[in-house]
Amino acid sequence: MIHFSWFLDGSIIGCYLLGTMIAGIMVRKYVGKVEHFLVAGREMNIYLGIASLAATEFGIVTCMYTAQNGYKYGFAGVTPGILMALSMFFVGITGFCIKPLRDSGVITIPELLEKRFGPRIRWAAGVVIVLGGLLNMGVFLRVGGEFLVLVSGLNVKYLEITMTVLLIAVAVYTILGGMLSVLITDFLQFIVMSLGLVVVTILILARVGWSNLVSTVELHYGAGGFNPFVNKDMGWEYVLFFAFLNLAAVLTWQTTIARVLSAKDTKTGQMVYTRTAFFFVCRFLIPGIWGIAALAMLKPDSMTLLSAAMKEQSSLYGMPVFLSTFVPIGLMGLLVAAMLAADMSTDSSYMLTWGGVIYNDIMAPFRKNKWSERRGLLWNRMIVACIGLFLLVFGLWYKLEGDLWTYIGVTGTIYLSSISVLLIACCYWKKANSWGAAGAIIIGAVVPILFLVFEKVPVTKGFAKTIGPYYSGILTYLLTAVAMIVGSLIKPQHIKADVK
């Protein structure tokens, strides 16, 4: 039986939603300039930055896939979280790339790239960032809705309408208050989300027990459940691929880097990184434990309520099915509120930051004459509204065909590989030029797409399987760097400006 009381749990969720909406809308009066809307006037301090970064980078989709990692790989599934924490700590402590980026006073990464590579590369980088980011985000709503349906026992026919109402609520405060509303609501959402995550985890550790979790992992995966290097589905190539991916994400993922750019100064931006770094271990370990608990506690008949398509991915849907009967009434309201908080903070930030790139970089050629603040704000608000509409149509009402993970992996790698190489070269290699940058953008897109095509074509299917997604991913990062070096050396150009 599902433990969800509409009176008790519904009241908790209603109070949370009402509080968030009021806080988000109230701060709209402080938005008078485009800079206020996109980077909160660069007045964000450390603790607000920590809350906002943590809340943004943890959505329901994150919880689902990290729990799936726990279900499929045991404790070894936490490896990407550890790698991300190490990357973020390294970047925060050294200021690698983020120091010159924040010192330059830009609003987005492509704006910095223009100083070294020219306006065309700024525009192309903007397009790659927006395409990669929005297509990646396109699947968030449906997965989030599925979690809520499974946990609360909501009739599946209300999934679309529930998520539509939620997205409209998020869009309203994001359109009105921009980054200010995002920061304030992120703060509230961080508290609710953290409370839910910690309480449910303690309950699992107390009731399922540490010994039960460990013996389940030993039974299913042996030593590979604790060590990624000896896991038959992981190995060194998995670790190396995620090391590249996480470093690139820390340096260039738009929602993450927006916190550095909104910080009141460079030192604050770096401190937000160093102090949030360990959160990324929790981001994988906490839902990972939920996934392992699902593996330990679920019986074969537990999945009978799932649809046929969901049954095929029992590792993904095991965690919400387990929680629906494990978490007691009252606490269930807190869990659902926590997950709604996680999803809303992610959606608002994604809509705003990718909208910022559209306005600041893709529309830059159309803003040759300086626009008034009023006009700029109007355009930014319209862009956020359009992104909301895109998410609604693409992410919720449009049924995505094919493998979800391949889709997320390809869109993510296209963006992260090229933009991270461009950013590193822009900041630290004086010989880097627009030829190298163009080569890196092309190679960064071609290699992952080729791998996808090879996977689908019968003649090359075997070859693609031999290479595998991790070697292909590693190759993409290496070849993108080679393209930057070769392209820059083929045609040396006059250096336009020192970005530092």
Partner 1 sequence: MITEHWFWFCLTAVCVIWYSTVTVYVAFNGIVDIKHMLEELKKSL
Q: Which 265-284 positions form the footprint of partner 1 (CB under 8 A)?
A: 278-279, 281-282
Q: Which 178-197 positions form the footprint of partner 1 (CB under 8 A)?
A: 180, 183-184, 187, 190-191, 194-195, 197
Residue type, 330: G
Q: Classify residue 45 by its DSSP letter.
A: -
Token reading at 446: 């071609």
Dihedral, CA of residue 354, residue 78, residue 229 and residue 474, to nearest 10: 0
According to the binding rule CB under 8 A, does residue 2 interact with partner 1?
A: no
According to the binding rule CB under 8 A, does residue 32 interact with partner 1?
A: yes
Q: Which is nearer to partner 1, 33 or 491 (CB)?
A: 33
Q: Which is nearer to partner 1, 197 or 297 (CB)?
A: 197
Pick one of 5, 10, 30, 127: the residue that binds partner 1 (CB under 8 A). Answer: 30
Pick one of 2, 10, 28, 43: the residue that binds partner 1 (CB under 8 A). Answer: 43
Pick one of 6, 14, 15, 45: the residue that binds partner 1 (CB under 8 A). Answer: 45
Residue type, 85: A
Q: What whole-number distance in Å separates Cα of residue 294 and Cα of residue 71? A: 7
According to the binding rule CB under 8 A, does residue 295 interact with partner 1?
A: no
In whole angstroms, how close is the CB of 201 to partner 1 at the nearest point?
6
CB 431 within 8 A of CB 488: yes
Q: What whole-number distance in Å separates Cα of residue 438 and Cα of residue 236? A: 31
Pick one of 226, 429, 454, 471: the residue that binds partner 1 (CB under 8 A). Answer: 226
Q: Which is nearer to partner 1, 214 or 240 (CB)?
A: 214
In whole angstroms, how close is the CB of 122 to partner 1 at the nearest point?
27
According to the binding rule CB under 8 A, does residue 296 interact with partner 1?
A: no
Token reading at 232: 């038959």
Q: What whole-number distance in Å separates Cα of residue 259 and Cα of residue 186? A: 12
According to the binding rule CB under 8 A, does residue 371 interact with partner 1?
A: no
Q: What whole-number distance in Å separates Cα of residue 303 and Cα of residue 308? A: 10
Name residue, tokens 């906002």: 52
Q: Which is nearer to partner 1, 40 or 243 (CB)?
A: 40
Number of H helices, E strands in the chain: 22, 0
Q: Which 63-92 positions form the footprint of partner 1 (CB under 8 A)?
A: 75, 78
Q: What whole-number distance in Å separates Cα of residue 85 and Cα of residue 375? A: 40
Pick one of 205, 303, 408, 446: the residue that binds partner 1 (CB under 8 A). Answer: 205
Stretch that binds partner 1, among 14-22, 177-185, 409-417, 473-481 (CB under 8 A): 177-185
Decide: residue 207, CB within 10 A, 0-12 exposed, 13-18 middle, 19+ buried: exposed
Q: Which is nearer to partner 1, 53 or 159 (CB)?
A: 53
What are the angstrom distances between the C-alpha of 119 and each of 89, 123, 407?
32, 6, 30
Q: What whole-number distance in Å separates Cα of residue 308 and Cα of residue 85? A: 37
Pick one of 11, 19, 47, 236: the residue that binds partner 1 (CB under 8 A). Answer: 47
Token reading at 469: 């997604």
In whole angstroms, how close is the CB of 281 to partner 1 at the nearest point?
6
According to the binding rule CB under 8 A, does residue 20 interact with partner 1?
A: no
Stretch that binds partner 1, among 14-22, 201-209, 248-256, 344-352 (CB under 8 A): 201-209
- Return the exposure string of 82-110: e unless at least 16 CB atoms fall within 10 Å of the residue's CB, then b: bbbbbbbbebbeebbbbbbbbebebbbbb
Stretch that binds partner 1, among 26-34, 240-248, 358-366, 391-399 (CB under 8 A): 26-34
Residue type, 300: P
Binding site for partner 1 (CB under 8 A): 27, 30, 32-33, 36, 40-41, 43-48, 50-51, 75, 78, 180, 183-184, 187, 190-191, 194-195, 197-198, 201-202, 205, 210-211, 214-215, 226, 278-279, 281-282, 285-286, 289
